Structure 1
Amino acid sequence: MDWRWTGLLVLLPFQLLYCILRGVVCLLLPPRLRDISGDIVLITGGGRGIGRHLAKEFAKQGARKLILWGRTEKCLKDTAEEIRMAGTECHYFICDVANREEVYQQAKAVREKVGDVTILVNNAAVVHGKSLMNSDDDALLKSQHINTMGQFWTTKAFLPRMLELQNGHIVCLNSILALSAIPGAIDYCTSKASSFAFMESLTLGLLDCPGVSATTVLPFHTSTEMFQGMRVRFPSLFPPLKPETVARKTVEAVRSNQALLLLPWTMHILVVLKSILPLAALQEIHKFSGTYTCMNTFKGRT
């Protein structure tokens, strides 16, 4: 056996112990919070739902400027006016993140009109809410283009300048369904799993990039219009999250430079169970978790 590999195997338990101890220390000691008073924050899907609450929370915690992207002007305008009335500069742009050229064009307009984005929050998403065989092909493609590919385009548009400035943060509002799918939302679960892999790869790639970090948020069922069709088997044990709670915890995770946030904390148990239980047990977890049915063709925070 190669002595190098032998040495690595000997050191592995000590490295794992170090990581565990460092994690415990980080939990016990309050983290140093990022000062966002100089940051320009862009939120996709920022006109309603979680995006609207994210905008209000970033403003509340002192962000310098806010930029809202979305496809529905009325929602964007209403949210922007609310943010301005609270005393924070806010702009909005009509942009479909599924359209690559539109993203690049509007990113250029943002830089010229507002300035360099230093916190990008990829929040825009849609759900089709049907089984595979009942889903229209174009609807399936639309889910993947908005929920997954849109993050490629927005990140490519803003990350290069963050790297130049050595100041930036990429945030993804994902879903616990990225780790444990449910019936009735095959398009959403697939796109969120892809999005999770994208963010995991991006986060690792940024480890050697000073001043630029990433945060992935994986919330459980949140009480927004997007998931009105969600049915949880034991709602008293797992009530839906409030969007304002998800927004507050997300901003806190960004300020503390937390790479991964599961909401609520009990979702960590699901991750552990999925990694150790056989398929039969996973099926029981899925029954416990719930299903999703959507009467409308699309619902989302775009």
Structure 2
Amino acid sequence: MVELKGKVAIVTGGGKGIGATIAKQLAENGVKVVINYNRSSEAAKKVVQSIHECGGEAIAVQADVSVLEEAKKLVEIAMEKYEKLDILVNNAGITRDRTFKKLSEEDWHKVIDINLNSVYNMTAAALPHIMQSEAGRIINISSIIGQAGGFGQTNYAAAKAGMIGFTKSLALELAKTGVTVNAICPGFIETDMLAEVPEQIKEQIKAKIPMRRFGHADEIARGVLFLCRDGEYMTGQQLNMNGGLYM
């Protein structure tokens, strides 16, 4: 088991939803957290405040991680503040769901840029520092959609599947360094994104899940915690947290 107290993590898209819950759980276990957000300024500040109130350490940093220079600046700020970096959680993501016939070029590129290109940008900027850690961790929040596909989600599925391929390849390259690279593939999780789905459709989805319920953000966060603390011999893997919907 790795001692997490004093470790430093960047969580992209950490102002809301799964990212915010990951940031809080890491902080509860002694990790100093850099919470990245793009537009969710107030939400990110509330996450930082919540962490501080519980005795943890965190800062919020605005950056559009789909832009390489902004990703580099985010890492620079983290290093200036904490002087090291141990954990990178690539969580930033959006959806622009359309059937392929209605999918615009803008919808395609926006989802690929934010969900997949950001993974390259952040990893390229952070890796030199993570390689200096005694327990370097890169954790990519992919999706069941990247494994099984999803109707009206060719852009999202392509991005999330790309994250899985990226994870496996980088894990091979970094295995001898001790830096682990893994993906978590959530199923349908109770978040603001899921809340936008019509109730009738949600019930249809739930009926297909063997466990007959949606997941919770804290369950995904515990998966991140496991990979950080107990995953020293686990790399290149997909941690499937989907209630049995995809096996």
Q: TM-score, normalised by structure 1?
A: 0.74
User: Among 201, 205, 208, which residue is 2:173 paired with?
Assistant: 205
After superposition, give the CA deviation of every residue in 1:244-292 in whole Å (9 maximum; x if it has no partner). Answer: 111112212321114331114635xx44xxxxxxxxxxxxxxxxxxxxx
1:82 equivalent in alignment to 2:55: no
Of residues 245, 254, 262 in structure 1, which corresponds to 2:240? Answer: 262
Q: State the Cα deviation string for residues 45-96 of structure 1 (Å, max 9, x = none).
A: 0011001110111112222x11100112111111111111110111010011
1:251 corresponds to: 225
Q: Given residue 239 of structure 1, which amino acid in structure 2 is its aligned partner?
A: R
Distance 2:96 2:188 in 1: 16
**Structure 1 residues 140 and 236 mapped into 2: Cα distance closer, same or farther (>3 Å)?**
closer
Q: Take 2:225 and 2:206, find their aligned partners in 1: how far apart are those partners?
A: 30
Question: Does the C-alpha gap of structure 1 residues 164 and 253 become closer, same or farther in structure 2, counting only changes over 3 Å?
Answer: closer
Q: Percent identity?
A: 24
1:113 Cα offset (Å): 2.3
2:131 equivalent among 163, 177, 190: 163
Displacement, 1:166?
Answer: 4.5
Looking at structure 1, the residues matched to 116 and 28 of structure 2 have their Cα atoms a distance apart, in angstroms, of 29
Find runs of 4+ consecutive structure 1 residues off by over 6 angstroms: none
Work out whether 1:138 is the aligned partner of 2:106: yes
Mapped partners of 2:80, 2:101: distance in 1: 46
Segments of structure 2 that go 5 or more residues without pairing to the other structure are none
Determine if contact 2:10/2:89 at 8 Å carries over to the other structure.
yes
Structure 1, 120-129 or 177-186: larger mean CA deviation: 177-186
SS in 1 for 2:85: coil
The code of the aligned residue for 1:262 comes to: N
In 2, Cα distance between equivalents of 1:239 and 1:233: 6
Q: How many residues align?
A: 235
Matched, 1:106 2:74: yes
Which residue in the other structure is 1:241 paired with? 215
CA distance in 1, matches of 2:227, 2:79: 26
Separation in 2 of the partners of 1:185 and 1:176?
12
Mapped partners of 2:151, 2:185: distance in 1:
18
The alignment status of 1:190 with 2:158, answered yes or no, reads: yes
Q: Secondary structure at the match of 2:34?
A: strand
TM-score, normalized by length of structure 2? 0.89
Residue type of the alignment partner of 1:225: D
Is the CA contact 2:143–2:160 (under 8 Å) kept in the aligned structure 1?
Answer: yes
Pairwise CA RMSD: 1.7
Q: Which has the larger radius of gyration?
A: 1
* Cα offset, 1:233, TM superposition: 6.0
Aligned to 2:185: 218
Contact 2:96 2:107 in 1 (8 A): yes
In 2, Cα distance between equivalents of 1:164 and 1:106: 18
Amino acid at match of 1:224: T
Instruction: Name the amino acid aligned to 2:183.
Output: T
Q: In the aligned structure 1, how far is the partner of 2:27 from the partner of 2:240?
A: 23
Whether the aligned pair in 2 keeps the contact of 1:166 and 1:209 (CA below 8 Å) is no
8 Å CA contact 1:215–1:254 kept in 2: the answer is: no
